[in-house]
Structure 1
Amino acid sequence: MPRRPRVAAGDPAAAYPAVVDGWYAVREHQPGVWLVGEPPHVNSFLVVGRELAVLIDTGLGFVPIRDVIDGLTELPVLVVNTHYHWDHVGGNAAFSEIAIHERGEDRLRRGPDMEEIRPYADRARRVLERYGGFRALDEELFWFATDETTPRPLPDGFDPERWTIAPTVPSRLLREGDMLDLGGRELRVIHTPGHTPDSICLFDERNGLLFGGDTYNTGPIYAHLPDSDLDAFASSTARVAPLADGVRFVYVAHFARYVETGGFLREVAEGFRAAADGAVRWEDTRDESGRPARLARFARFGLLAPPDPA
């Protein structure tokens, strides 16, 4: 069976074939809103105004993300980290203007423990090896996979032992309600503690776009980590849910389905409420790093909570 084109005719990503064919998958999903993905690991987003571009997260740091961003815009770039976890700050060091919520400053300055996260590179290799079988079945029966969801080989010459994510010093600290003016476009900071204490979403109200970081995901939402707070998570999602009618698209930081509709905000809030009320069926499981957890499944996402203490 013939393979589908890697980039469809008329797709804005067709203007950037060298970028699309490299480590990063790049696609302009809405005018001035670019996916800069590292499939299937993490999704960053570039939002371009008339005077300023905001890069929402900087990924793993395997390959310099700055080169991609410089190919998309000549505007000054402000990095906004949705939280301090390593897979969202890996490319920070290439930028001079970095913002994070004030509760994430200390962890960003400290930087990640590279010995703890370095095994992730081996996991990336294993994912690629396993993907081959899935892609063959997909090409035969389903045709779900697209260029922006297809895992890439690790870059030539990439050495996990030399991979480093440097501590970075934020140039701006964010708080609830802060407005980022890009010129003709504004992003409002919504503090959504739960995944981490400093987690934020960014809301482009005029265009109906919400960038969810790790507060929203289309696979398991991580509420079971040592720095997570399940009750705070439920409160945050309940507070954001009323925005749903004014949101056209929700952009998420992980998994292949990187965009959802506004109603997803209500679904996630309802899922957290059901979990708090004991109205879900939990399954014992482990996350991708082997941490024990409980999983509740919903139609468009999952919820990982700490293991049952009993």
Structure 2
Amino acid sequence: MSEWFTVEQIDEDTYVISEYKHWEETHCYLLNGTERSLLIDTGMGIDNIKEIVNQLTDKPVIALPTHTHWDHIGGLQYFDEFYVHEDEEEWINGNFPLTLEYIKSLVIEEPCDFPSDFDLDKYEIFQGQPSKVLKDGDIIDLGNRKLKVIHTPGHAPGHICLYEEAREYLYSGDLIYIGKLTAFFPTSDPVIYNNSIKKILPLPVKKILSAHHDLNVPLSIISEISEAFDDLKIKGKLKQGSGTFSYPNFEIEI
């Protein structure tokens, strides 16, 4: 097994594949159903995540990034079938809004122990034609498991969360996690981000499965983030350029 990835089991048919050796500490989730498997996010593409996936499922695999930022789409190159939200179809088809030079600077922003065969000069931003374009409310059926697509823009225009109602699992991507929440990119919008938090706030959630850092995410963080955004709005700071604001379990950079 690759030394770049760490694999942990969430339950009997759900795994998290993590890149702890990189400062982003990305998490990708493999959900095995009776008919097919779903890989939520694919990491940075620094090593071949498909080799890990092949050890955990023998079903056909759909890859689905929560959004098409570089650290979520790197592994799409290894999968024949992948979906994206309709608002980022253009990004994945050759119009990614950030330069390759900028992305490479993020890859090496902090020192880490890269695989011996990793060559930054050959690093590319994945581009391709999705097998399916998703919209808000779509259902992904894995056989015995169903996930609902919830469009949650703000961090990125096509950002989605996935909700597994039967288990009350929320796969939250970059909308919710312990760490620095960001809405400072030109394609981000802190007001819309706040609206997206409000959209998921009523959901019954037993487990938050986020895309970065600590896997033990307290359920209270959703309401805490909502309250923080509301406070920034009241203070007139819910606009880009306002700065970075710190809270017990997270920061907000806008």
- For normalisation by structure 2, the TM-score amounts to 0.92
- Contact 2:15 / 2:31 at 8 angstroms: preserved in 1? yes
1:37 aligns with 2:41: no
For 1:163, the equivalent position in structure 2 comes to 123
1:296 aligns with 2:245: yes
1:222 aligns with 2:208: no
DSSP-derived class of the 2:15 partner:
strand
Aligned equivalents of 2:6 and 2:56: distance in 1?
Answer: 13
Out of 165, 179, 183, the residue aligned to residue 143 of structure 2 is 183
| Count of residue pairs brought into register by the alignment | 249
Aligned equivalents of 1:259 and 1:52: distance in 2?
Answer: 27
For 1:102, the equivalent position in structure 2 comes to 86
1:259/1:171 Cα in 2 relative to 1: closer, same or farther (>3 Å)? farther
Q: Note the residue ranges of structure 1 that are not aligned, 5 or more in a row.
A: 1-17, 129-152, 281-291, 306-310
Shift of 1:103: 0.3
For 2:207, the equivalent position in structure 1 comes to 249
Deviation larger for 31-40 or 70-79: 31-40
**Which aligned pairs between 1:189-208 and structure 2 lie closer than 5 A?**
189-208=149-168
DSSP-derived class of the 1:68 partner:
helix
Which structure is higher in helix share? 1
Q: Note the residue ranges of structure 2 that are not aligned, 5 or more in a row.
A: none
Out of 119, 122, 125, the residue aligned to residue 108 of structure 2 is 122
Aligned equivalents of 2:65 and 2:99: distance in 1?
Answer: 18
Aligned equivalents of 2:33 and 2:19: distance in 1?
Answer: 23
Shift of 1:166: 3.0
DSSP-derived class of the 1:242 partner:
coil
Q: CA RMSD in A?
A: 2.1
1:67 aligns with 2:51: yes
- Contact 1:193 / 1:233 at 8 angstroms: preserved in 2? yes
Shift of 1:121: 3.7
1:271/1:160 Cα in 2 relative to 1: closer, same or farther (>3 Å)? same
Shift of 1:260: 1.5
Shift of 1:203: 0.3
DSSP-derived class of the 2:122 partner:
coil
Shift of 1:259: 3.8
DSSP-derived class of the 2:16 partner:
strand
- The one-letter code sitting in structure 2 at the alignment partner of 1:250 is I
DSSP-derived class of the 1:87 partner:
helix
Shift of 1:279: 8.5
Aligned equivalents of 1:75 and 1:293: distance in 2?
Answer: 47
| 1:103-152 alpha-carbon deviations (Å, 9 max, x no partner) | 0100011156322212234324x2x4xxxxxxxxxxxxxxxxxxxxxxxx
- Contact 2:77 / 2:126 at 8 angstroms: preserved in 1? yes
For 2:224, the equivalent position in structure 1 comes to 267
- Contact 1:252 / 1:259 at 8 angstroms: preserved in 2? no
| 1:146-203 alpha-carbon deviations (Å, 9 max, x no partner) | xxxxxxx100132110122331111111111111111111110000010011010000
Aligned equivalents of 1:200 and 1:166: distance in 2?
Answer: 19
- For normalisation by structure 1, the TM-score amounts to 0.76
Aligned equivalents of 1:90 and 1:261: distance in 2?
Answer: 28
- The one-letter code sitting in structure 2 at the alignment partner of 1:301 is F
Shift of 1:293: 6.2
Larger radius of gyration: 1
DSSP-derived class of the 2:119 partner:
coil
- The one-letter code sitting in structure 2 at the alignment partner of 1:86 is W
- Contact 1:192 / 1:200 at 8 angstroms: preserved in 2? yes
Aligned equivalents of 1:279 and 1:197: distance in 2?
Answer: 23
Shift of 1:91: 0.9
DSSP-derived class of the 2:201 partner:
helix
